Amino acid sequence: SNQPTSPKQSVGPDYRDEKQKPTATVSTAVPFENVHTLPQTPQLIALLTMIRDKNTDRADFIFYSNRIIRLLVEEGLNHLPVVEHAITTPVGRSYAGVQFQGKICGVSIMRAGEAMEQGLRECCRSVRIGKILIQRDEETSMPKLFYDKLPEDIADRWCLLLDPMFATGGSAIMAVDVLKSRGVPENRILFLNLLASPEGIENFAKRFPQLRIITAFVDQGLDEKNYIIPGLGDFGDRFYTM
């Protein structure tokens, strides 16, 4: 396949001379307007380095993943509409601000997506969270919907679809089909993930051109077992068990 080479970029604070900055592999550029990659800041690259490292233990993996998840949720929320909202401060002055408009919900793709629920709850108090379980059918080896529990008024909500690893996109495509079948318009779905593959993005962006993908990093590709490379291994195993 035509796997892109991984670009390296200098990383570090602006006040440092370019020549004094270390270089690091940064996210692969993708030609789709609906893909939003987090700014490749020194913080983000350092956090990703921690969770990619096979020697990072479970406690650190959870801690640093959670920091990236918070960044993804905050960026996702920037895509929701706001309306003007003027308020009065305690010193009696007015401030011309905004407030969020509309209802949201999270939808986690089990099991790994559940790891992103806490980060969403920390940003959106008492947010409704639905779940979707998709697994490979033993007979057909195709992804199959095994279980879903979604808010009954989901068609009126913005949906933040949660799955940390966006590899082939097979489960995410099925999850989006479920959301659309419940009446959620494609342009009100945001798919939040930590690592994405160019293959998964390509599958998805063509199929759902109005759906927004918010990712921390677009990696190099997939290996023969459909693991993301360089990747971070099995996210669910590292978050829940290892």
State which residue, 75 or 199, has the beta carbon closest to ligand URA.
199
Peptide bond into 121 cis (omega under 30): no
Q: Residue 229's CB: how many other CB atoms inside 10 A?
A: 14
Rg (the chain; Cα; Å): 19
Q: Which of 50, 173, 234, 240 binds ligand URA (CB under 6 A)?
A: 234
* Residue 235 binds ligand URA (CB under 6 A): yes
136 as an active site residue: the answer is: yes
148 is a catalytic site residue? no
Strand, helix or coil at 113? Answer: helix
- Total residues contacting ligand URA by CB under 6 A comes to 9
Catalytic residue of the set 53, 153, 156, 237: 237
Segment contacting ligand URA (CB under 6 A): 118-126, 130-138, 186-194, 229-237?
229-237
The residues with which 212 forms a beta bridge, in sequence order, are 190
Closest to ligand URA by CB, 100 or 227: 227
Q: Which of 76, 87, 84 is nearest to 101 (CA)?
A: 84
Candidates 5, 89, 140, 241; catalytic one: 140
Round to whole Å and give the CA distance between 145 and 166: 17
Give the separation between CA 113 and CA 235, rounded to whole angstroms: 9
| Cα→Cα distances 111→33, 115, 122, 213, Å | 29, 8, 19, 20
Listing DSSP states for 178-209 in one string gives: HHHHTT--GGGEEEEEEEE-HHHHHHHHHH-T
Give whichever of 148 and 234 is closer to ligand URA, judged by the CB atom. 234
Q: Is 215 a catalytic residue?
A: no
> Of 113, 200, 221, 231, which lies in the binding site for ligand URA, with binding defined by CB under 6 A?
231
167-186: contacts with ligand URA (CB under 6 A): 167
Angle between helices 198-207 and 170-181 (to 10 degrees): 20
**Does 237 participate in catalysis according to the annotation?**
yes
Stretch that binds ligand URA, among 46-54, 58-66, 123-131, 232-240 (CB under 6 A): 232-240
* Residue number, 23 or 226, with CB nearest to ligand URA: 226
The site string for ligand URA over 188-227 (x = CB under 6 A, - otherwise) reads ---------------------------------------x
**Cα(241)–Cα(125) distance, rounded to whole angstroms?**
28
Q: How far is the CB of 172 from ligand URA (least distance, A)?
A: 11
- Residues belonging to the active site: 136, 140, 234, 237
Site for ligand URA, rule CB under 6 A: 112, 165, 167, 227-228, 231, 234-236
